[in-house]
Structure formats: C-alpha cells, structure tokens
C-alpha cells in the first residue's frame, strides 16, 4: 500500500490502484468507516471537507490550530478534523440533541474536542467557553448560513483567521437556481472578508459549494 501525505495526518492511500482518503488516527472507527492499519478512511460522501480535499483543494490547516466548528452533528467530520489538529483544539457547536449524544461519545475519548450544545445563531451564549480561533468551519444546512457565519466571526475569528463555509443552496432558497444563490452568498461575504476560493463539491455533494475566506 502506497501512502502520500497531503496535509498533516491526512493521506491518500493507494491500494492496488484504488485511491482512498484517510486520516492517521490511533482511535477506533466512529461511524462505521474502515481502518487500514493506523489510518481511518475518510469518505467524501459523508464529509464535505473530505470532498474538498479530494477535489484537490487542500486548505493549509495547521496541527496546532484552534477551530470553531459549527454544525457538528454526530461528529463524522469532527473526528477527522481532530486527527489533523492533534495539538490544537476544536470547539464544536450543535443544536440538535439527538446527534449530539453520539457526538459526546467522540468528545469523551478525544482531549482536543470541546462539545457545545447551542444554537450557532447565538454565539454570545458560548462566548465564555470559546477562545479566539484560527479557523471557523461551518456546515449547518440552515437558511441563515451567512448570518450564522458572520456573527461567529465577529465574536471569535482572529485577525487574518480563515473560514470554510459549506454552502447548501437549497437550504437558503429552494426555488432559486443554486448558481444564483452561490453568487448572492459570495457577494455578501465579500463585503466583510477576502474570498480566497469557491469550490463546487460535485460529484460528492450536489448543489453545494465550499467558500474559503480570510479575515
Ligand atoms: C449537514 S449536518 C452536519 C454534518 C457534519 N458537519 C459532518 O460533516 O459530520 C448539519 C448540522 O447542523 C446542525 N445545525 C443546523 N442549524 C444549526 C444551528 N443554528 N446551530 C447549531 N447547529 C445547527 C444540524 O442540527 C445538523 O446536525
């Protein structure tokens, strides 16, 4: 098996010609993903960050970064993110109790995950827990996605800090063309941040883009 590192603890495995994205992890599988020795498979169909990396857009996330993660759900992507920022910390917000209970199991075994049960539209409610962060990662599939990002950036994003916003067109406007929605979102973000890239997540996630910004 050939192993190529693309980012800290993120590898592309070549198993007899089949390419597999994975993270180096000493932990057991969290959501039924396969383990190949010390690596946990990271499936693009289950994680927009994995899709982004497989589309060869690899944000330079450092191993000691502090991350604010909005929309943790049961922790699929957070589990891999925690492998990357092994010397940093992830403050992870989720407002739905059901996925949160599974997410808590993950947070209990990892020292670098701080789980927060809260509505991401109300950052002041967790401002006593969350530090200034190097990156905000957001995947909330909520009609007010941009508002949520801006409010959290105002509270927590460091100067020159970065944001990765996974935008789901249909959650914002189910009647407009996705392209039109993405243009609107980009224009709004441009008024406050430097937009570094907009990447379409097809074929892994239909009508989704990732927007990478810097403060
Ligand atoms: C697409 S899922 C996230 C999947 C997850 N990021 C992953 O890749 O493993 C979106 C999640 O955002 C949560 N969410 C939506 N609006 C939210 C809000 N205002 N505050 C906190 N969580 C929210 C939902 O409950 C849901 O669990």
Q: What percent of the chain has pLDDT over 90?
A: 93
- Protein fold of 54-214: Rossmann fold (3.40.50)
Domain boundaries of the chain, sorted by first residue: 2-43, 54-214
The per-residue pLDDT for 76 is 98
Q: How far apart are the CA of 123 and the centre of ligand 1, in A? A: 15
pLDDT digits 0-9 by tens, 177-208: 999 999 999 999 999 999 999 999 999 999 99
Rounded CA-CA distance 132/69 in Å is 13
pLDDT digits 0-9 by tens, 83-142: 999 999 999 999 999 999 999 999 999 999 999 999 999 999 999 999 999 999 999 988
Dihedral angle computed from the Cα positions of residues 107, 131, 59 and 188, in that order, rounded to the nearest 10 degrees: 120
Supply the pTM of this predicted model.
0.97
At residue 153, does pLDDT exceed 90?
A: yes
Q: Which long-range contacts (CB under 8 A, 24 or more apart) does 92-99 make?
A: 92/116, 93/68, 93/69, 93/118, 93/120, 93/126, 95/119, 95/120, 99/72, 99/73, 99/74, 99/75
Consecutive H or E run containing 197 = strand 194-200
Ligand 1 site, CB within 6 A: 47, 71, 73, 76-77, 93-96, 99, 119-121, 139-142, 148
Q: How far apart are the CA of 75 and the centre of ligand 1, in A? A: 10
Q: Whose CA is nearest to atom 17 of ligand 1?
A: 140
């Amino acid at each position: 098996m050939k192993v190529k590192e693309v980012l800290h603890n993120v590898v592309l495995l070549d198993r007899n010609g089949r390419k597999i994205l994975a993270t180096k992890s000493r932990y057991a599988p969290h959501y039924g993903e396969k383990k190949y020795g010390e690596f946990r498979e990271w499936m693009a169909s289950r994680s927009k960050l994995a899709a982004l990396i497989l589309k060869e857009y690899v944000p330079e996330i450092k191993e000691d970064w502090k991350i604010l993660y909005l929309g943790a759900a049961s922790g699929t992507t957070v589990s891999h993110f925690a492998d990357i920022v092994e010397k940093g910390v992830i403050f992870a917000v989720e407002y739905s109790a059901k996925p949160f209970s599974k997410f808590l199991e993950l947070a209990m075994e990892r020292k670098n995950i701080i789980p927060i049960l809260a509505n991401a539209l109300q950052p002041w409610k967790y401002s006593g827990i969350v530090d200034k962060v190097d990156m905000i990662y957001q995947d909330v599939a909520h009609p007010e996605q941009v508002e949520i990002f801006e409010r959290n950036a105002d509270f927590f994003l460091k100067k020159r800090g970065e944001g990765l916003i996974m935008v789901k067109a249909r959650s914002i406007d189910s009647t407009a063309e996705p392209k039109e929605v993405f243009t609107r979102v980009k224009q709004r973000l441009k008024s406050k941040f430097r937009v570094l890239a907009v990447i379409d997540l097809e074929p892994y996630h239909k009508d989704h883009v990732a927007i990478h910004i810097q403060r």
